[in-house]
């Protein structure tokens, strides 16, 4: 059985780690390089580093910061934010990222997924999907959740897989920052319909939520931010509890 992964997420704005609720009301959570180093030493399986305003402000993720983080960690590390070309990915991978995450640019031009997976291998390509349940239907949102579309989450996820993505990072905008638990019903559907790994994001508030996302949501990995940034949950304690609940994790 593949072990389940615990992934702290570092949302970056103006060079600082930030965290909000439902994608707004951001507050400072510390220096991303320092946090990355702490997480790598405390048992995190991977890290995700997202420049959350890169797409919105039409600028590229800072390769210098990626290099600084990569120098401090010895675990796999995904970088996203404003990535829209082979050149963008090449720069990030050369500066130490193990994987890249694309979101808005892939929705606007789905062929990008094919191009990136063909060039760098699907194992390097994560497609992030931000979706919100509206009148009972899960709809994809772009530009950090600010721009709604009429694209169905499950149809888009299937297309993403077919185009060569190595994994999907699904964030429920309804659950994000609420600490009320992950969107397990939607996650279970994604996990049953797709063959590639699903990373769950949005809603972690207590250890039980992580147990639920693996056992009920069938997720392959769980991503969280504030509960780790503000030391509400220690990764070591979380993994020990998951193991007690029958979830296979790397201790």
Residues acting as catalytic residues: 11, 130
106 neighbors 127 (Cβ within 8 angstroms):
yes
232: three-class secondary structure by DSSP = coil
Q: How far apart are CA 142 and CA 52, in angstroms?
A: 11
Structure tokens that stand for 202 in this block: 């949005």
115 neighbors 86 (Cβ within 8 angstroms):
yes
Give 51's strand partners: 12
* Residue 25 CB coordination number (10 Å): 10
Q: How far apart are CA 163 and CA 86, in angstroms?
A: 15
Q: How far apart are CA 151 and CA 181, in angstroms?
A: 24
Q: How far apart are CA 152 and CA 21, in angstroms?
A: 23
Give 221's strand partners: 5, 199
* Pairing label, strands 5-13, 16-21: antiparallel
């Amino acid at each position: 059985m593949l072990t389940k992964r615990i992934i702290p997420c570092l949302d970056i704005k103006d060079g600082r780690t930030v965290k909000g609720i439902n994608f707004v009301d951001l507050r400072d959570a510390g220096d991303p390089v320092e946090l990355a180093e702490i997480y790598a030493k405390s048992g995190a399986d991977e890290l995700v580093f997202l420049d959350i305003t890169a797409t919105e402000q039409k600028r590229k993720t800072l390769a210098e910061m990626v290099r600084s983080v990569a120098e401090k960690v010895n675990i796999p590390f995904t970088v996203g934010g404003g990535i829209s070309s082979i050149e963008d990915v090449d720069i990030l991978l050369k500066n130490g990222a193990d994987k890249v995450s694309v979101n808005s640019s892939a929705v606007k031009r789905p062929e990008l997924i094919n191009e990136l997976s063909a060039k760098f291998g699907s194992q390097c390509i994560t497609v992030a999907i931000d979706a919100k349940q509206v009148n009972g239907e899960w709809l994809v949102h772009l530009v950090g959740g600010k721009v709604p579309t009429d694209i169905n989450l499950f149809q888009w996820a299937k297309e993403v897989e077919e185009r060569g993505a190595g994994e999907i990072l699904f964030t429920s905008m309804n659950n994000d920052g609420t600490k009320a638990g992950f969107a397990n019903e939607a996650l279970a559907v994604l996990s049953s319909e797709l063959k590639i790994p699903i990373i769950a994001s949005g809603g972690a508030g207590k250890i039980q939520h992580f147990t639920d996302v693996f056992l009920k949501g069938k997720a392959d990995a769980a991503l969280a931010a504030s509960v780790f940034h503000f030391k509400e949950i220690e990764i070591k304690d979380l993994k020990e509890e998951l193991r007690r609940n029958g979830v296979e994790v790397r201790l």
